[in-house]
Structure 1
């Protein structure tokens, strides 16, 4: 299923008001960890899958990338990305991630940030990414942690006074769709175990080089209410892999 909630105007307006939408990468709690996992981008051809507002596309160019292609299904997202970009070396294309069909060896680096948990067939997308990378090329992907996606509720268990007691984990081994509430809208996410994520990459021909379960950036811990609770369980998983 190819979801395009971001072209629903009400949903897009709410998303546009989120801190990571207005403040960019510095407001994304996982960004410091993801940044250090990126390879040298100097003179690289980069693909960003699920590029959204194009924050990673512009960062890649700031780091010297030769060219960047940003792919997203939402025209609202791409329109905003184009408004924020004045760089002829960045090209934005409206394509579903499931439908990418790039030439063999077209890129040296592929990035996908917090997008692949919306994809039903992860292994197929991994094979397509493997195909469009040069040998030795790098794939950096982040997604919501399986501990976070296991239950559709995606919320804390609270006490009688509303205090956050613990983060419940249930149905972890039951993979498949989760109908979650995000910005007061039902969205479909696909829960997979950590092992399934890793094995999907391995079967597609990748070698895993690093895993990270990032904590929130220190400077954000006291900036937003409840951010310190993000130290109590992982919300994201980041993987670095190379094409064998």
Structure 2
């Protein structure tokens, strides 16, 4: 099931919407704080958000001083919420696939993406397309699911627990076998694409980027206090964050 059908599937959309609206979730406790720490100064900048979803980050970029923000998402349902809840004069939302951004005749200072690139099959092309849209010295910042949890072909990687039910290790397989993964997440048939770390980072570098930061975020003390179970992130990371820059 491609990303457009996935996020416009009502059962999936309802489940995902409920997840993101919970007071305590991995995005707000782990991924988003780590991404925020790596944001550049956006004052007066043009920003492209790929897979913008509900538009919260687009609105945040405007609050941080961005002069223009383009939010791209393939899901009409997601963009409907974004236009309603995260609108601003500086933001333009576009219903398109991030695989089609080569058609955009624009230049951006900053390209951002949160947890969307693992849905893209041709990652190398995506990196090249983004590089071509960036102004000299422009920055790319993206997060995606970490290659460890995406590795196992049936999606059934799992934690191993001690006699007290405490996770102590994580079992996975097929790490070096890149390609399509079809799993159950709210609904059956969710398609993602697994890439080992070396393949992924090499694609970023070969597109022309200088890789500045590679982050596998672990929870802060405040996050563990809010959700003690998140401490298992010290065993196995859920997210990968990459900050890269186009040469001046």
Q: Which residue of the partner structure matches residue 103 of structure 1?
A: 105
Q: Is the 8 A contact 1:27 1:220 kept in 2?
A: no
Establish whether residue 185 from structure 1 lines up as the match of residue 206 from structure 2. no
Q: Which residue of the partner structure matches residue 61 of structure 1?
A: 62
Q: Is the 8 A contact 2:53 2:78 kept in 1?
A: yes
- Compute the RMSD of aligned alpha carbons: 2.1
Separation in 1, partners of 2:220, 2:71: 25
Change (3 A) 1:111 1:16: same
Gap regions ≥5 residues in structure 1: none
Q: Which residue of the partner structure matches residue 3 of structure 1?
A: 3
Post-superposition CA distance 1:78-102 (Å, at most 9, x none): 0011111231111110001111122
Separation in 2, partners of 1:178, 1:25: 22
Structure 1 SS opposite 2:30? coil
Q: Which residue of the partner structure matches residue 166 of structure 1?
A: 169
- The alpha-carbon deviation at position 28 of structure 1 amounts to 4.3
Q: Which residue of the partner structure matches residue 46 of structure 2?
A: 45
The TM-score with structure 1 as length reference comes to 0.91
Gap regions ≥5 residues in structure 2: none
Separation in 1, partners of 2:17, 2:201: 32
Change (3 A) 1:78 1:35: same
Structure 2 SS opposite 1:17? helix
Q: Which residue of the partner structure matches residue 218 of structure 1?
A: 221
Q: Which residue of the partner structure matches residue 204 of structure 1?
A: 207
Change (3 A) 1:94 1:40: same
Separation in 2, partners of 1:92, 1:49: 10
Post-superposition CA distance 1:86-139 (Å, at most 9, x none): 3111111000111112225x1000001100001000010111101110011000
Equivalent residue in structure 1 for 2:238, among 235, 238, 241: 235
Change (3 A) 1:26 1:118: closer
Moved >6 Å (runs of 4+): none
- The alpha-carbon deviation at position 12 of structure 1 amounts to 0.5
Q: Which residue of the partner structure matches residue 92 of structure 1?
A: 93
> Which deviates more from structure 2 when the two are superposed, residues 155-164 or residues 54-63?
155-164
Structure 2 SS opposite 1:138? strand
